[in-house]
Structures are given as structure tokens and as C-alpha cells.
């Protein structure tokens, strides 16, 4: 039996490049925050926003 898989890697769906969206920041945005259906916003650990956002009553 030959169950070897993974020899071929998919490259078309490579790592999505997303940098911190904080103005002037060029760090890697490793933290993604999605507001509802909006596209996620990415921030580095330094500029991460409060999540989940505080509830407004």
C-alpha cells in the first residue's frame, strides 16, 4: 500500500499576505478581526484591537 500524500503542494492558494492595518505599521498582521460580514482586518499583536468589541447598550 502506498498512502503517501503531500508530495505535491498546492501553490495557487498560498499564504495570504496581510500586514498590520495600523497606519504606518509594517509589521505582520497575525491577528485577524472580522466585523460581521466585512472582510477581516488584520493587526499585529502591538496594535490589536479590543476583541470582541464592547457591547453597546
Q: What is the DSSP letter of 27?
A: S
27 binds Zn ion (CB under 5 A): yes
Q: How far is the CB of 16 from Zn ion (least distance, A)?
A: 17
Q: How many CA atoms lie within 13 Å of 24's alpha carbon, on the beta-carbon side?
A: 0
Of the candidates 18, 19, 25, 33, which one interacts with Zn ion according to CB under 5 A?
25
Q: Rounded CA gap, 19 and 10, in Å?
A: 23
48 binds Zn ion (CB under 5 A): no
Contact positions toward Zn ion, by CB under 5 A? Answer: 20, 22, 25, 27, 44, 47
Amino acid at each position: 500500500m502506498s498512502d503517501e500524500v503531500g508530495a505535491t503542494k498546492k501553490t495557487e492558494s498560498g499564504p495570504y499576505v496581510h500586514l498590520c492595518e495600523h497606519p504606518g505599521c509594517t509589521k505582520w498582521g497575525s491577528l485577524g478581526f472580522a466585523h460581521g460580514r466585512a472582510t477581516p482586518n488584520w493587526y499585529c499583536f502591538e496594535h490589536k484591537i479590543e476583541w470582541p468589541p464592547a457591547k453597546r447598550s
